[in-house]
């Protein structure tokens, strides 16, 4: 089965390095959130930790899926009476799609939980309804990749709004840094949505996403060193 790769060839593998770095940053924040939860026993702190752990898992699945895509092998193919060797992208179709689906579902779930935490309102019926609609959008995103990035962009947009509201209440640099990090992640998702028109958008998206995580790391380090 042939797979469609939304990345310039020169960027193969580099995106995986970017994602591994993001995994370490998200893992660090998740552990710190868990440390806070162990002390506070507040469920919001637990969900905060879980949301960053879901981001970690999502990246892990994405990396495994990308490995699957980039795994190039010589495969004998019969054309008429001749058997020829073709170097083509080998992908175990169902595994690839499953990995992609899980990765996207985890990422949407992670940012949805972050949105609910920043929103500070938890109407149960609304959460179930939104959760269902997000699940449907992830299913459709397997066919139309941009649905995933657009959906994620919408969720992150509302996280940005809440972060900015939080900054406006009492203007502190750490609050602005968090807002900036989510803004970068938002723009990265918009860049990912444009891959179909311009494949270099994937590089821009990956780079902005990585910078967004570095900004979150900067916030963690400055807050914990002050």
Q: Footprint of other proteins on this chain (CB under 8 A)?
A: 32, 35-36, 39-42, 44-45, 48, 117-118, 120, 162-163, 165-166, 169, 172, 174-175, 177-178, 219-220, 223-224, 226
Question: Between residues 38 and 75, which has the closer beta carbon with respect to other proteins?
Answer: 38
| Rounded CA separation 18/186 (Å) | 17
Least Å from the CB of residue 113 to other proteins: 12
User: Across-strand partners of 78?
Assistant: 83
The closest of 21, 25, 28, 98 to 61, measured between CA atoms, is 98
Task: Give residues with Cβ within 8 angstroms of 63, minimum separation 6.
Answer: 16, 19, 20
The closest of 118, 125, 194 to 160, measured between CA atoms, is 118
Buried b (16+ CB within 10 A) or exposed e, 46-68: bbbbbbbbbbbbbbbbbbbbbeb
Question: Between residues 39 and 143, which has the closer beta carbon with respect to other proteins?
Answer: 39
Task: Give residues with Cβ within 8 angstroms of 171, minimum separation 6.
Answer: none
Question: Between residues 13 and 123, which has the closer beta carbon with respect to other proteins?
Answer: 123
Least Å from the CB of residue 41 to other proteins: 6
Least Å from the CB of residue 118 to other proteins: 5
Contact of 213 with 182, CB cutoff 8 Å: no
Least Å from the CB of residue 35 to other proteins: 8
Question: Between residues 75 and 168, which has the closer beta carbon with respect to other proteins?
Answer: 168
Cα separations (Å) of 51 from 54, 107, 133? 5, 9, 19
Least Å from the CB of residue 175 to other proteins: 5
Contact of 142 with 100, CB cutoff 8 Å: yes
Question: Between residues 100 and 217, which has the closer beta carbon with respect to other proteins?
Answer: 217
| Rounded CA separation 2/100 (Å) | 15
Question: Between residues 174 and 207, which has the closer beta carbon with respect to other proteins?
Answer: 174
Least Å from the CB of residue 87 to other proteins: 47
């Amino acid at each position: 089965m042939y797979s469609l790769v939304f990345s310039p060839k020169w960027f193969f593998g580099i995106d995986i390095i970017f994602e591994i770095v993001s995994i370490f940053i998200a893992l660090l924040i998740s552990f710190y959130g868990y440390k806070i939860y162990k002390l506070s026993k507040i469920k919001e702190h637990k969900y905060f930790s879980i949301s960053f752990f879901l981001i970690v898992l999502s990246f892990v699945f994405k990396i495994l899926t990308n490995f699957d895509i980039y795994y190039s092998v010589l495969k004998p193919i019969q054309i008429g009476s001749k058997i020829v060797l073709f170097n083509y992208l080998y992908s175990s179709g169902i595994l690839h799609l499953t990995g992609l689906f899980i990765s996207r579902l985890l990422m949407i779930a992670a940012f949805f939980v972050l949105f609910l935490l920043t929103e500070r309102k938890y109407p149960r019926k609304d959460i179930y309804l939104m959760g269902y609609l997000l699940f449907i959008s992830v299913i459709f995103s397997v066919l139309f990749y941009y649905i995933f990035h657009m959906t994620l962009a919408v969720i992150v947009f509302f996280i940005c709004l809440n972060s900015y509201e939080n900054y406006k209440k009492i203007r502190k640099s750490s609050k602005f840094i968090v807002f900036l990090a989510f803004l970068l992640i938002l723009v990265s998702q918009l860049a990912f949505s444009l891959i179909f028109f311009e494949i270099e958008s994937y590089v821009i998206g990956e780079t902005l996403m990585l910078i967004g995580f570095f900004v979150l790391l900067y916030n963690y380090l400055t807050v914990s060193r002050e």
